Amino acid sequence: MKTITRIWKVNGEEKTVKVPPMRRLLDVLREDLGLKGAKEGCGEGECGTCTVLINGAPMVSCLIPAGQVRDGTEIMTVEGLEKTEGGRLLQEVYADKGSAQCGFCIPGMILSSYALLSRNPNPDEAAIREAHAGNLCRCTGYQKIVEAVQAAARKWPGNK
């Protein structure tokens, strides 16, 4: 099968992958790069568990063919969060507020939080809900997610 080579910056490190162009980014991350944090809840772009940040924007990796991700693209998965100040903060408040129950939605959810706060460090509740509307959670009822994002916003790097 025809493969292509791509060089991406994954969680801050340069990674070279050789993959069939139509292989899903989710599979490349999970299987080729061993980043099992991203999850498959539906495979159809509806649940958001496979969310990763592509150049800072949350995207569902189950719908992205690896060939479409250009060389030099920055990809951040849940495993990369702790390398950033905001990411560590989010992990801390998610833990404190009891925002992760079964945890299956969390890798995607917390990346959506990170993308939101990076873009808008002072979101109101409506903006928070909007930013997480693509991440389904069956456990929490979302309240504890909203509370975590609000708490993180109060301490977000650059916010005083």
* Contact criterion met (CB below 8 Å) for 12 and 48: no
Map the footprint of another protein across residues 11-50, applying CB under 8 A.
Answer: 35-44, 46-47, 49
* Contact criterion met (CB below 8 Å) for 145 and 90: no
* Contact criterion met (CB below 8 Å) for 132 and 138: no
- Return the one option of another protein, ligand FES, none that residue 81 interacts with (CB less than 5 to 8 A, by type): another protein
Amino acid at 37: G
Q: Does 138 bind ligand FES (CB under 6 A)?
A: yes
* Contact criterion met (CB below 8 Å) for 12 and 77: no
- Token pair, residue 104, equals 């299956």
- Of the candidates 90, 105, 111, 131, which one interacts with ligand FES according to CB under 6 A? 105
Q: Does 85 bind ligand FES (CB under 6 A)?
A: no
- Return the one option of another protein, ligand FES, none that residue 50 interacts with (CB less than 5 to 8 A, by type): ligand FES
CA-CA distance, 87 to 115, in Å (whole number)?
10
Interface with ligand FES (CB under 6 A)? 40-43, 45-50, 60, 62, 100-106, 137-140
Interface with another protein (CB under 8 A)? 35-44, 46-47, 49, 77-79, 81-82, 90-91, 94-107, 110, 128-130, 132-146
